[in-house]
Amino acid sequence: MNDPQQKWTETIDANHSLFDLKLKEVWRYKDLIYMFVKRDFISSFKQTILGPIWFFINPIFTTLTYLIIFGRLAKLPTDGAPPLLFYLAGVTLWNYFSGSLIGTSNTFSGNAGIFGKVYFPRLATPISIVISNLMRLSVQFLLFICVWAYYLTTKEITPNWWILATPFLVILMAVFALGVGMIFSSLTTKYKDLSMLLGFGVTLYMYATPVIYPVSMLPGAFKSIAKYNPLTGIFECFKYGWLGVGDFSPSMLLSSTVIIFILLVIGIVTFNKVEKTFMDTV
């Protein structure tokens, strides 16, 4: 016979608010998040010869490719910044955003087997992906710092105090990737075509973002449209702070912040709604 005074220590309930992130519960599962991060890091370089060195090889070769194609052949301007450093700055930020977005968008489809067997706060998975890519960013950012320090000693760049905004810019990119990734992850449980379109869409989005060109080179109408791209304010602020170049204004960054947090709210609502029934459709 059950004791009427008995209380459950754990309650699994799908009837929670669409806006509820259950951050306290996520914090309780921080060890699980650490395991996910460790798993992603190890699996990325399992059975590879160079291992984590690929963190450096990827941005180096990408930057050199951009330098040849867009710098030497297309002769795109860099607002007076050294082309190598200009492209490396864009590549470093873009790799983090695109990796976090694509990884987060596979939350439900890529972890259906785990989700169907054991309970844990589902938000732990996309958070672990963002943190995993943050580790990659820290390594690639070290490469950027080395190249930046060289040009600083040659006095070819004039950085300013907007460098201090870098942690905030990284947080904005993480939140943006998390919000949009949760939206795509939720939608792909029913519409799997979206997962195939996402990779192509991310590539197109890169060309709509000032990764390989400065906003200042865009004609008036396109420049106005570009400022509605949440990443425009982030990339221009980063280049303005570290390289001292770019068509940046605080209002641009404020606009990016507002749009990103709106997308985060939409992502939270969509994620929480799909979380209850995704096993029926995935």
pTM assigned to the model: 0.84
- Which residue, among 57, 87, 59, 58, has the nearest Cα to 72 in the 3D structure? 87
Instruction: Mention every residue, 6+ apart, whose C-beta is less than 8 A from residue 199.
Output: 102
Contact 243, 157 (CB under 8 A): yes
Contact 105, 181 (CB under 8 A): yes
Measure CA 151 to chain center. Answer: 27
pLDDT score recorded for residue 279: 47
Tokens representing 14 are 């799908």
Contact 135, 41 (CB under 8 A): yes
Give, rounded to a whole angstrom, the gap between the first and last alpha carbons of the chain.
Answer: 40
pLDDT score recorded for residue 16: 54
Q: How many C-alpha atoms does 219 have within 13 Å on its Cβ side? A: 1
- Domain positions in the chain are 54-280
pLDDT score recorded for residue 169: 96
pLDDT score recorded for residue 183: 87
pLDDT score recorded for residue 246: 84
Three-state SS letters, 19-77: CCCCHHHHHHCHHHHHHHHHHHHHHHCCCCCCHHHHHHHHHHHHHHHHHHHHHHHCCCC
Cα separation, 16 vs 39, in Å, equals 30
Tokens representing 216 are 């200042």
Digit-by-digit pLDDT tens for the chain (282 residues) are: 455 556 656 555 555 555 555 667 777 878 888 888 877 777 766 655 566 677 788 889 999 999 999 988 988 989 889 999 999 999 999 999 999 998 888 776 666 667 667 776 777 888 888 888 888 898 899 999 999 999 999 988 999 999 999 999 999 999 999 999 888 888 877 777 677 788 888 989 999 999 999 998 888 788 888 888 999 999 999 999 999 998 888 998 999 999 999 999 898 888 777 766 654 445
Tokens representing 213 are 């060109």
Contact 234, 169 (CB under 8 A): yes
Instruction: Mention every residue, 6+ apart, whose C-beta is less than 8 A from residue 154.
Output: none
Measure CA 193 to chain center. Answer: 22
Residue 139: how many other CB atoms lie within 10 Å:
14
CA distances from 261 to 63, 132, 204, 205, 256 (A): 30, 21, 23, 19, 9
Give the CA diameter of the chain: 81
